Structure 1
Amino acid sequence: MLTVICETPGLLRAQDRPKPTRAEDEVLLRVKRVGVCGTDLHIFTGNQPYLSYPRVMGHELSGIVEEVPADSSLAPGDMVYVMPYLSCGRCVACRQGKTNCCVNIQVLGVHRDGAFTEYLCVPQGFVHKVEGVSLDQAAMVEFLAIGAHAARRAGVRADQRVLVVGAGPIGMAAMIFCGLRGARVTALDTRRDRLDFCAAHLRTAACVEVGHDDEQRLAALTDGEFFDIVFDATGNPKAMERGFKFVAHGGTYVLISVVGGTISFADPEFHKRETTLLGSRNATTEDFETVLAAMRAGHIPDAALNTHRLRLAEVPDGFKDLLDPARGVVKAIVEC
């Protein structure tokens, strides 16, 4: 079977690997679609803190069941999505239902090989049948669930003023689900094309381009009070540090981004606001179900989000083009 491996940063190679043999508790899947995530781009560029090379990337996937255990509720031919965060079910986080931050988590495409391949074996507890959505949509559930989880974790409410810093796919996912909760969402980004996309397809209340007067413009949008909730989805340490100043007094700052370093903030400013600081990692089954319900209801502009496509065999040569801002990539989907 064709498999694409990231051997070292910047180097992808196609290999012919044997079709995997299913373990007793695993489901064998024929991979059909794989969404390309910011995590994959960071792996390719060498900026993913939890990874060692070589690695088969890809954790946003949908597929068709090929083989199942005898006691499985799934059957060959079922269309499925995969929860790519393989949690242990035993640790302190899992015992609280926080499987998204399991102590022993194994994320497909990061800690273990992922879906840039034709067949994949996954423990059956992480494979879920989907109905009422397409293979393309099913491959987009995971990144949207990260935004749904962040919005739920922050407790976003109707009419709150929300700022999302970083208008990449994860930031857009946060915008979508904050908007579905009734918040007034403002997007802040360096790229005008991304902001135009948010205005056209995500119904953001305002879009502000990073520049010399962006702080003044954000203040003007909020009568100088700034935002009840600020989300960072930039993956940029300086942006993450700067975001503290956009939080209103009594407000909440949510870091969806993860970086391989240390961020800092001014303690007097943090304390005088009584800021609530939250990390938001991955998503849970509840968040995946939230996304699927929104998709079935027609609330997700998935066709607009899927701006680019390529086949698995095209990935070694074509992947680097997805990093080019001039190509306007929002979400690329690989067809296997």
Structure 2
Amino acid sequence: MRAVQLIKFGAPQEALQYTELPDPTPGPGEVLVKIEAAGVCGRDLVVRKGAFPHVKPPIIPGHEGVGKVIDVGAGVERDLIGMRVFLSAIYDGTCDYCRRGFENLCRNAELLGEMRNGTYGEYVVIPAKFAHPFHGVDPKAAVLATCPISTAVYVLKHIDVERKKVLVVGAGGTGIYIAQLAKVRGAEVYVSTRSPEKASVLKELGLGVATEGEKDFDVVIDTVGAPTLERSLKLAKRAGAVVVIGNVTGEKALLSPALVILRQLRVIGSMAFRPWDIYEALDLLKRGLIKPLYVEYKLQDAAKAHEDMERGRVMGRAVLLP
């Protein structure tokens, strides 16, 4: 099969290699999925830079994927063959976090694109229970539900935004969907961006574009991380809330505790999503409540997709098409 491998950490053109690899085969309890669309997540960029010590090149990146089951291993019902599925994270289901409904925090999670080959290829093998059938959404839009929109769904389960003034910091591949969903949930939503092109799209979606000096937001949702986190704390009103989901650079942030203490802020972390959040995200797409925004790239152009994302040229998501 043709695939993109992370061969070393570094810049996109040096780290990502389009190559020919043996076709994978499913083992017991597994399915073989022919990828129809793969999303490029901001986390993929951090992985490529070498921020996570558990990632050992060479490996096929990517955890966002939609496709069709074309083969199954021993012990898997053959009725799955031909079904369109989305892929979720692999969790054990038995640890203390999984038992409490936090599968996204599983102690023994196995991450596609980091601990086993991911979705930047023509095919991927995954345990059958983590290939979830769905219908009614085009694959190129559906792949957005497998991370950015489901992340938005999960974020807004942490905090009530109805009738609140909300700032989303960053109009990237996740921020644009959090902003849309917050508006659906009844918030007055503003997004901070330095891109005139993105600002124009935000206005078309009925979202506000934050101006310099605007502050006192009830809720600030930071999708960037270290470069913006201190400012996000300053933009929240006293007794407001700051939700942190972004880590696009992988850098550490230096913060003064006084920003949190003297303003009596709630700081909330939100980690990814659970499989059923993806079904909720798909339903939002089916109902037309979320507009899918993405830029298509051929699989062999994955390095360019990474470059364009780093330079803020992608509105919504970069989607790789094998």
Whether TM-score is above 0.5 comes out as yes
Q: Distance in 2 between matches of 1:45 and 1:197?
A: 30
Q: Give 1:244's aligned residue.
A: 233
For structure 2, the residue ranges without an aligned partner over 5 or more in a row are none
- CA deviation after TM superposition for structure 1 residue 252, in Å: 1.3
Q: Does 1:315 align with 2:319?
A: no
Q: Give 1:262's aligned residue.
A: 252
Q: Distance in 1 between matches of 2:156 and 2:53?
A: 24
Q: Distance in 2 between matches of 1:276 and 1:326?
A: 29
- CA deviation after TM superposition for structure 1 residue 156, in Å: 2.3
CA RMSD of aligned residues (A): 2.2
Q: Does 1:296 align with 2:296?
A: no
Q: Distance in 2 between matches of 1:73 and 1:251?
A: 52
Superposition TM-score, scaled by structure 1 size: 0.86
Q: Give 1:199's aligned residue.
A: 203
Structure 1 consecutive aligned stretches of length 4 or more whose deviation exceeds 4 Å: 45-50, 326-329
Q: Distance in 2 between matches of 1:297 and 1:329?
A: 21
Q: Distance in 2 between matches of 1:72 and 1:5?
A: 31
For structure 1, the residue ranges without an aligned partner over 5 or more in a row are 220-225
Q: Which amino acid letter does the alignment assign opposite residue 317 of structure 2?
A: K
User: Deviations along 1:203-248, whole A, 9 cap, x unmatched?
Assistant: 21x2125xxxx2x2x13xxxxxx1111110013x131122111122
Distance 1:334 1:264, change over 3 A: same
Distance 1:32 1:61, change over 3 A: same
- CA deviation after TM superposition for structure 1 residue 61, in Å: 0.8
Q: Give 1:233's aligned residue.
A: 223
Q: Which amino acid letter does the alignment assign opposite residue 210 of structure 2?
A: V
Aligned counterpart in structure 2 of residue 81 of structure 1, from 79, 82, 86: 86
Q: Does 1:161 align with 2:165?
A: yes
Q: Does 1:284 align with 2:274?
A: yes
Q: Which amino acid letter does the alignment assign opposite residue 302 of structure 2?
A: V
Q: Which amino acid letter does the alignment assign opposite residue 4 of structure 2?
A: V
- CA deviation after TM superposition for structure 1 residue 50, in Å: 5.7
What SS does the corresponding residue of 1:139 show, helix, strand or coil?
helix
Q: Give 1:151's aligned residue.
A: 156
Q: Distance in 2 between matches of 1:88 and 1:247?
A: 38
- CA deviation after TM superposition for structure 1 residue 122, in Å: 0.6
User: Deviations along 1:80-125, whole A, 9 cap, x unmatched?
Assistant: 1111x21122222112110111122222112322111111111112
- CA deviation after TM superposition for structure 1 residue 249, in Å: 2.0
Aligned counterpart in structure 2 of residue 208 of structure 1, from 207, 210, 219: 210
| Identical amino acids, percent of aligned pairs | 26
User: Deviations along 1:32-75, whole A, 9 cap, x unmatched?
Assistant: 11112212233344556763433311111100011235454952
Report which stretch shifted further, 275-284 or 47-56: 47-56
User: Deviations along 1:170-218, whole A, 9 cap, x unmatched?
Assistant: 11121122111111111112323222222213x21x2125xxxx2x2x1
Q: Give 2:35's aligned residue.
A: 31
Alignment of 1:35-114 (within 5 A): 35-46=39-50, 51-68=55-72, 70-72=75-77, 75-83=80-88, 85-114=89-118
Q: Distance in 2 between matches of 1:73 and 1:257?
A: 40
8 Å CA contact 1:130, 1:138 repeated in 2:
no
8 Å CA contact 1:156, 1:178 repeated in 2:
no
Q: Distance in 1 between matches of 2:133 and 2:121?
A: 20
Q: Give 1:330's aligned residue.
A: 316
Q: Give 1:222's aligned residue.
A: none
Distance 1:230 1:331, change over 3 A: same
- CA deviation after TM superposition for structure 1 residue 281, in Å: 0.8
Q: Which amino acid letter does the alignment assign opposite residue 54 of structure 1?
A: P
Q: Give 2:7's aligned residue.
A: 7
Superposition TM-score, scaled by structure 2 size: 0.90
8 Å CA contact 2:65, 2:86 repeated in 1:
yes
8 Å CA contact 1:195, 1:208 repeated in 2:
no
User: Deviations along 1:13-41, whole A, 9 cap, x unmatched?
Assistant: 12222211212111111111111221223
User: Aligned pair count?
Assistant: 315
Q: Distance in 2 between matches of 1:321 and 1:244?
A: 29
Q: Distance in 2 between matches of 1:248 and 1:171?
A: 20
